[in-house]
Amino acid sequence: MRGWWRANVGGLPGTYWYLWSGMLINRVGGFGVLFLSLYLVNERGLGASGAGLIVGLAGIGGAAGSLAGGVLADRWGRRRTLLTGHLLLAASMAALAFTPWLPAIAVLTCLIGVFQSMAGPAMVAAIIDVVPVADRQRAFNLQFWAFNLGMAAASLLAGLLAEIGFALLFSLDAVATLLAFLVLAIKVPETLTHRDGPAPADRSGLGTALRDRSFMTFVGLTLLVATVFTQASTILPLAMKDDGLSGSAYGVVTAFAGALIVVGQLFVPALIGGREKGRVLACAAAFLGLGFSIIALADGLAVYLVAAFVWTIGSMLAAPPNAEVIAELSPAALRARYQAVFYIVFPLAAFISPALGGFGLEHLGNGNWIICGMIGVAAALGHLGAGRSRERLVRARRDAEKDSSGVPAAVQG
């Protein structure tokens, strides 16, 4: 046990653990958006399509927030970006708890997306700043583990709180976000060291990332997968409601998925080690599509749990190679900008998924989940096609960097 602790947990800097703790607190309390679609249907009388459109506004705001967070994290600082995003998110969530007017709810939903997404690129950049290169894989694995531990706890709490009232649900989300803000404000220093402004290449960083064909192909395939996966937090509660299941049943499904990741994620690197990342990502997309297509057969909690088991295998397989591909394709000087572009995938999926999923559920019924399965297959085929060319590009870039350093590639590799 002591050896496992040293290999997986020990030796990471104190600042990393405060960043980790702030994220965990925020995730445990991050149950507001999980049940926003149910709130709009049950409390505000909207249909699935209308609720999906409003929840999707968080995705539009999130796309802007991701870009802003990446740029601000490099120019303004990691600490300021994290604190600003958390404080404004807490205020927006508190306002949502006591706002009855639908247009105001729509605006607040969009703002929640902006402020929630600001933190992602800044958090990743801060971790890279403080964690030595040799420990980063371990640090990010623990971050992903904590994220899902928090989501599992949030899902269980949200199911119980939704039975009491949505105002309490949103208010406690705001309180948790404020607690995370306090941890970061008190314990996390500024980790950005180059205060003399960005290098000239940095000023065109977003454009460089957007023009990187291999990177943007990877981003596009990730968007397909994320659009399917986001159905779990936006449309799945409505499907379970149609089958006569309560909000607490949805909490059980999402908590089960999170618990699987908490138990199994640390074993994934050994399972996929040495395999081509394109093939692993293709396998992950196929599992994800299969899991969501199983929902078409669901009429009770047991089948929903089976579906969650299958799609969670896909999400666990995808996490390590996703992080590796971004690291390999990102120039060191533009890492935060590449992270910002990659993070756009998730708010975009948060807009596309409920908007199309709400329409699909309302008008196609179980056909919505068959379409999700087809998207997963398409993403799997895309990863198989793009993976090998991406690997060749990465090897060519490494060889060029070795040659430019003046040390023969054969000596270095």
**Most distant CA atoms of the chain, gap in Å:** 68
All domains of the chain in start order, with CATH: 18-190+208-404 (1.20.1250.20)
Q: What is the pLDDT along the chain (413 residues), one digit of tens a residue?
A: 555 445 455 678 999 999 999 988 888 877 677 678 778 888 887 877 788 788 878 878 888 888 888 888 878 888 999 999 999 999 999 998 888 888 999 999 999 989 988 888 888 888 888 888 777 767 877 887 888 788 777 777 766 776 777 788 888 889 999 999 999 999 999 988 754 444 444 445 678 888 899 999 999 999 999 999 989 877 888 888 888 887 778 878 887 887 888 788 878 877 887 788 899 999 999 999 999 999 999 888 999 999 999 999 999 898 878 877 887 787 766 777 788 888 888 878 877 888 788 888 888 888 999 999 999 999 999 999 998 888 888 777 766 666 555 544 333 33
pLDDT reported for residue 234? 79
Q: What pLDDT is recorded for position 224?
A: 95
pTM: 0.72
Contact criterion met (CB below 8 Å) for 63 and 157: no
pLDDT of 33: 72
- What are 93-99's contacts with CB under 8 Å, separation 24+? 93/32, 93/170, 93/171, 93/173, 93/174, 93/177, 94/170, 94/171, 94/174, 96/32, 96/170, 97/166, 97/167, 97/168, 97/169, 97/170, 97/171, 97/174, 98/167
Instruction: Quote the pLDDT of residue 406.
Output: 52
Helix pair angle (335-343, 345-364), 10° resolution = 10
- Cα–Cα distance, 87 to 265 (Å, whole number): 31
Both tokens assigned to 296: 């078409």
